[in-house]
Amino acid sequence: MLKIIVRRTLLWSNICSIAALLLSVFLPCVNPGQWWPAGFSGFFFPFLFLLCLLYTAIWAWRKNRKYGWMNIIAILCAMPAALTTWGVHIFRENIISKQTNSGQFTLMTYNTSSMGLERYVTNKDKEAAIYNTIASGSPDILCMQEFYTNDKPGNEQHLQRITSTGNYPYHYFTRDKTHWESWHYGIVLFSRYPIITASAIPSVKSSTGSGSTFLQADIAINGDTIRVFNVHLISYMFKGEDYENMKAPKGTGLVYKMRRTFPTRSSQALQLSALVAASPYPVIVCGDFNDTPVSFTYKTISRNLQDAFLKTGTGWGRTLSYLSPSLRIDYILAQPAVNIHGSKVFHNRPSEHFPVMACLSLKKN
């Protein structure tokens, strides 16, 4: 009797896991702005995938092939999503240093969380981690989201400091929000290559000052021109108390906050995808999408683009330092006209986001 109960419990829990896995794979094809439950599905994919692998091993151990094959079929259906979640280049040498006279250049994307500014006071440990990472990577093109700088003498003049210490003669700052005349917030791009033209393309209204616009820059590199989009899609705007109030009434709960962002982020993804398609130059898209690889956001933006981490990396590629080891939400994507030679995620605690850097070059006709 006990064996029957155990087998039936295993079977029905496995069936539920398979159903949840398939939903997490296929629901991100649906625009969550039109049907909000689709926005949650991709968060659980990595764990459901691993759970079905575990059930496969359990049924093999119990010598029940029929139920084992049930999991194998589900896993095969989920493989495309798995290949956007994990990097599989275990034996590839992942090099981000440039080769001399090769036309290669490096690009880093980094959500700086207001350069360590917390309640109008700078956290010096976080600020130091940011500058140490920039110095360590020394990217030719540095794209930063949630950037903060202050024009007032004696305050944190990050724009001038990075321009000077990083040897960046060119930059463009969106200045999406200003406090007290001298406190500026937005998205910024620093470059050692000439910026031909740059603009802030209106997207949505964001209270953070980073995410209200897309930064578009045309950059001259080795006789060619590339177009870089530096973006920060709308975030959930979680606060400390939100993590303690997941079961709060509608209007204050964590789930409700997430649900409210889905239509806006979906529209941003569609807008950005259209901008990429209309570009006359090879495109690189980078930034904080605030969504996982198994999501409508990622599927929409990454269509016909290469993911630098997936092309060269291994493992999770985690870019958010808290909540879950599966959260890769910061990306570097490039059109097929761009070669991706290597990539790296800098695990630079105590920063909230881990920056991503890639070594790239333009294909020659």
> Given this model, what pLDDT does residue 2 score?
72
Per domain, the residue ranges of the chain are 2-85, 105-362
**At 151, phi and psi to the nearest 5?**
-80, -15
**At 189, phi and psi to the nearest 5?**
-130, 125
CA 80 to CA 65: how far, in whole Å?
Answer: 24
Tens digits of residue pLDDT in 186-234: 999 999 999 999 999 998 876 655 678 999 999 999 899 999 999 999 8
> Given this model, what pLDDT does residue 243 score?
44
99 backbone φψ class: left, alpha, beta (φ>0; ψ -120 to 50): beta
Residues in the chain: 365
pLDDT tens across the length of the chain (365 residues)? 677 887 788 889 999 999 999 999 999 999 998 898 888 888 899 999 999 999 999 989 888 888 899 999 999 999 999 999 998 877 666 667 777 667 899 999 999 998 988 888 889 999 999 999 999 999 999 999 999 999 888 788 999 999 999 999 999 999 888 888 889 999 999 999 999 999 999 988 766 556 789 999 999 998 999 999 999 998 876 554 544 554 455 545 677 777 888 889 999 999 999 999 999 999 999 999 999 999 999 999 999 999 999 999 888 888 988 777 778 999 999 999 999 999 999 988 888 899 999 999 998 86
> Given this model, what pLDDT does residue 93 score?
62
> Given this model, what pLDDT does residue 92 score?
66
Instruction: State whether the Cα torsion 94-96-97-103 is positive or negative.
Output: positive
Helix, coil or strand: residue 67: helix
CA 192 to CA 149: how far, in whole Å?
Answer: 20
CATH: 3.40.50.720, 3.40.50.2300, 3.60.10.10, 3.30.465.10. Which one for 105-362?
Answer: 3.60.10.10
Strand 121-122, strand 177-179: pairing: unpaired
Asked if 193 and 210 touch (Cβ cutoff 8 Å), the reply is no
**In DSSP terms, which residues pair with 219 in a beta bridge?**
195, 226
Instruction: State whether the Cα torsion 127-129-135-138 is positive or negative.
Output: negative
Q: What's at 2, amino acid-wise?
A: L
**At 281, phi and psi to the nearest 5?**
-120, 160
> Given this model, what pLDDT does residue 212 score?
86
CA 87 to CA 346: how far, in whole Å?
Answer: 16
